[in-house]
Amino acid sequence: MCGIIGCRTTTAAPGYLITGLKLLEYRGYDSAGIAVSAADGSTALFRTTERVDALNGLVRAWDGPALGGIGIGHTRWATHGGVCVTNAHPHQDCDRRLSVVHNGILDNAGPLRAELEGAGHSFASEVDSEVICHLVEDRLKVTRDLLTAVSQSAEQLTGSWAVVVLDGLTGRMVAAAHRSPLLVARSAEGTFLASDISAISDWVEEYRILGDGDVVEVSEDLAWTRAGIPSLAPPPIMRPPRASFSLLDQDDHMNSEIDEQPEAAARVIEGIGRSVADGTLWTGLGLPPFQRLRVIGCGTSLNAGAIIGAGLSRLGGQAHSMVVASEAAGTVIEPGTLTLAISQSGETADVLRAIDEGPEDAPVLALVNNVHSTLARKVDAVLSCSAGPEIGVAATKTFVCQVLVGTGLVIASLVASGRITRHDARSLVDDLYGIPERFAAAALAAHRELPGLVEEVRHASGFLFLGRGAAVPYAAEGALKLKELTYRWAEAYPAGELKHGPLALVETGTPVVIVDDGDPRLAGNISEVRARGGLILSVGRPGSRIETPLSALAPCGPLEAVVPLQLLALRLAVDLGFDADKPRNLAKSVTVD
Ligand code: F6R
């Protein structure tokens, strides 16, 4: 989703800005832009609805005054207004003196815009962020100080923002944040800003995070203010090691990441196996014992959470509840509840909001792939799913690693609370050790069957995904991947629900994907579909269209089935000519609620 970078360097800014934006590409975006101070006090603006690389061409074609070392950049994921160059950031004020990049959503943009237009301001875009340019423009005329103008403007905003304002005339740059991540870092190379440390980690060793209400002058000295009052800068944080990734032998990251799953699973299980079996994965977190688990997340992370929560109930008889993060407000948290917040990015606004709005004394554990994320900083304890960098926008290996670490946590907590014996825990862990091999076998089976299967379903407008018991969240994940990548309707149901309505959708040739973990009741559901001409595509137990090896104890349910489901979505998307790494309308880091 939207990403921000800013720099104050001695050499030309575009190189830094475009390199940083490219490192934010994985989050998903639909347009990008940079604004750079020029030698004559003007600001050069370059924006595109193509990939970030297209900005290089625009900069090369620039024949205006020499470009300086101060600039800001942005990748946009549309929320207000369509995808077009005029809606891309940076936005500018009426005089084109101020340039602004903004992440977040302004709740009161409508009334502010009406007020500003009434006062004579002329808007160039449909985007809520543009009100910030005109607000600061007004305040700057009165205060003649950019830091004060931005502080006073921020007081008028409601909603969320990480914002950077560049004054091309003076070269001053001011950043402000409220409920949206933004960090600033200084090094011998210059001063940098970013919404995500990965954008600037090549040039800095440590960084500082803007807190809610902070407004900071981005100069050599970093003048820090909080709630309008000069304050000390927060302590620096060491940047995480730089991530590296390669495409293995594949054309796209998603394919490469699916292929990497056996290796990632082996690494994760090796890393946690012993501490699962003896319970120390749980006791090491230092959290109080809990009676029930409340799992919150969104999308794929929510599906992983459903598997983890169901594991706790199935293996140890302990209660769990599932909460869609965006619907968490008002849910009752009983005493003795542990909240498990799951998010690969750790930046998902819905999850952050759910945590902020929960009671302060209720413990929260985060399961994240980024231990330096905002979510990780907010909670009482953090577990890493240790998937490594995931570049494909659709989550694959992070899902698998979330399920493995979350299930490991569940087993460890059940050992620690005496609900299962160490011996039983050891057997469950031994079962997990077999997963990498079973993944590889599941991928082989899928590769054998998928070319023909894709041919059969390429014209289908919609799909049903069914499962029972532990297979239900996998059906949900299969449907989510298919719709994200192929833009076809895909609905997931517990198979028993079929006769309560969804069967109406089944007609001759309707593909119905069954995640078959061997539940005998599925046979009846398969007959119901066949009787109406539906096309059964079963994945799982022997005799299925795509057979995946079954695990004896299945602490995570039929995890192996997710590999063919991911590959089905990917292969069909590629066959239909879509870019699997950049599915439309999907963002890797969903920073608005
Ligand atoms: C699916 C996908 C999304 C995310 C969701 C939550 O492929 O990527 O559904 O799972 O936006 O993201 P995180 O896990 O970062 O909180």
HEC string for 310-375: HHHHHHHCCEEEEEEHHHCCCCCCCCCEEEEEEECCCCCHHHHHHHHHCCCCCCEEEEECCCCCHH
The phi and psi torsions of 576 (rounded to 5 degrees) equal: -85, 0
How many angstroms separate the first and last alpha carbons of the chain? 12
pLDDT digit string (tens) for the chain, length 593 residues:
689 999 999 999 999 999 999 988 877 788 999 999 999 999 999 999 999 999 999 999 999 999 999 999 999 988 888 999 999 999 999 999 999 999 998 999 999 999 999 999 999 999 999 999 999 999 999 999 999 999 999 999 999 999 999 999 999 999 999 988 899 999 999 999 999 888 999 999 999 999 899 999 998 888 999 888 899 999 888 887 665 544 445 568 889 999 999 999 999 999 999 999 999 999 999 999 999 999 999 999 999 999 999 999 999 999 999 999 999 998 999 999 999 999 999 999 999 999 999 888 899 999 999 888 889 999 999 999 999 888 888 999 999 999 999 999 999 999 999 999 999 999 999 999 999 999 999 999 999 999 999 999 999 999 999 999 999 999 999 999 999 999 999 999 999 999 999 999 999 999 999 999 999 999 999 999 999 999 999 999 999 999 999 888 999 999 999 999 999 999 999 999 998 887 887 877 776 66
Encoding tokens for residue 19? 């390199």
397 is catalytic: no
**Distance from the CA of 428 to the center of ligand 1, in angstroms?**
28
CA of residue 343 to ligand 1 center, whole Å: 7
DSSP code per residue over 372-392: TSHHHHHSSEEEE-------S
Give the residue, by CA position, lying nearest to ligand 1 atom 7: 394
Domains contained in the chain, CATH given = 3-238 (3.60.20.10), 250-433 (3.40.50.10490), 451-593 (3.40.50.10490)
590 lines ligand 1 (CB under 6 A): yes
**Dihedral angle, C-alpha 312, 313, 314, 315, nearest 10 °:** 40
State the Cα–Cα distance between residues 442 and 540, nearest whole angstrom: 9
CA 371 to chain CA mean position, Å: 13
What is the best residue among 257, 298, 586 to mutate for testing ligand 1's pocket, by most ligand atoms within 8 Å of CB?
Answer: 298
pTM for this structure? 0.80
Task: Tell the residue nearest (CA) to atom 15 of ligand 1.
Answer: 345
Q: Measured in angstroms, how far is the CA atom of residue 23 from the centroid of ligand 1?
A: 18
How far apart CA 478 and CA 565 sit, in angstroms, is 5
Asked whether 344 lines ligand 1 (CB < 6 A), one says yes
141 annotated active-site: no
Nearest CA to ligand 1 atom 10: 300
Q: What are phi and psi of 189, to 5 degrees?
A: -80, -20
Instruction: Give Rg (Cα) of the chain.
Output: 25
Strands (E), 60-105: 67-76, 91-92, 98-103
Q: How far is CA 87 from the centre of its chain?
A: 23
Task: Give the phi and the psi of residue 589 in degrees, each rounded to 5.
Answer: -135, 105
300 CA distance to ligand 1 middle (Å): 5
d(CA 386, CA 404): 10
- The alpha carbon of 206 and the centre of ligand 1 are apart by a number of angstroms equal to 28
Beta bridge partner(s), residue 234: none
Structure tokens at 56: 């290089």
Q: Is 301 in the pocket of ligand 1 (CB under 6 A)?
A: yes
Please, what sign has the CA dihedral across residues 477, 482, 485, 488? negative
For residue 451, is the peptide bond before it cis, meaning its omega torsion is within 30 degrees of 0? no
